[in-house]
Amino acid sequence: MGKPIIVFDLDGTLVDTAPDLLESLNHTLDAGGAARTDVAGFRQFVGHGGRVMIERAYQAQRRALPLDEHDRLFALFLEHYGANIPGRSAPYPGVVETLDRFRAADYLLAVCTNKTEEFSKRLLVSLGLSGYFAAICGQDTFAVRKPDPRHLTQTIDLASGDPEKAVMVGDSRTDIDTAKAAGIPVVAVDFGYTDRHVREFEPSKVISHFDELTLGLAQSLIAATHGRPRS
């Protein structure tokens, strides 16, 4: 079997991308003649990638969004966002130390995100983080995406990890539901992008800082999920 593995969501989990995603969303809404949104609105729309974010923003305004207009706006969103990577995006406090901690303990690390694979890799490269990850899998890497559990399990497989020694780390209901459906314990950070507190979605553990994501926590969650002694 493969090595133990920690799989991270990206936006709102590893990296605070909200300023840039919000700017690109508002650029897109401007182009469509819709009203801009703020950080509170953004938190309701994020989680399934830019296309869904635009759709939810239009739904919130009770505005029609024909398919051809949706396609046009999504292309504008991608163009604007891609032209500004990394923008003001930055890793959350403690991320680098946590990645170092698990890598030193011989854990594999991977990313499973509903951001496109291209933008995920570009962002992580620009922030000097890409070298930590055995796999960086976006919404278009496979034929499925979160909350389909296969997005997570195929990420683990691509990274050569062991699904029975895996932990997911995310910031949203999407991440939590994905991990639960895959039978993998999930740690939820409470500083990410969700309009409801992550504890409402019953993750395995809630943390408020990456310092709390310890080797002992990962081992105990794996042991509790798969009924094996801690190693």
The structural domains of the chain, with segments of one domain joined by +, span 3-16+90-226, 18-83
Q: How many CB atoms lie within 10 A of CB 66?
A: 8
Torsion of CA 24, 206, 107, 223, to 10 degrees: -150
Mean pLDDT, the chain, rounded, equals 93
Two domains, one topology: 3-16+90-226 and 18-83: no
9 is catalytic: yes
* Structural contact between residues 73 and 31, judged by C-beta atoms closer than 8 angstroms: yes
Nearest to 31 by CA among 80, 95, 84: 80
User: Which carries the bigger pLDDT value, residue 227 or residue 202?
Assistant: 202
Q: What is the dihedral of CA 78, 82, 84, 88, to 10 degrees?
A: 90
Query: Which CATH fold would you assign to the domain 3-16+90-226?
Result: Rossmann fold (3.40.50)
Please pick, among 9, 20, 171, 177, the residue that the annotation labels catalytic: 9
pLDDT band at 49 (very low <50, low <70, confident <90, very high): confident
> Quick one: pLDDT at residue 106?
97
pTM higher than 0.85: yes
Q: Which CATH superfamily groups domain 18-83?
A: Putative phosphatase; domain 2 (1.10.150.240)
Return the pLDDT at 230. Answer: 42
Rounded percentage of the chain residues whose pLDDT exceeds 90: 84
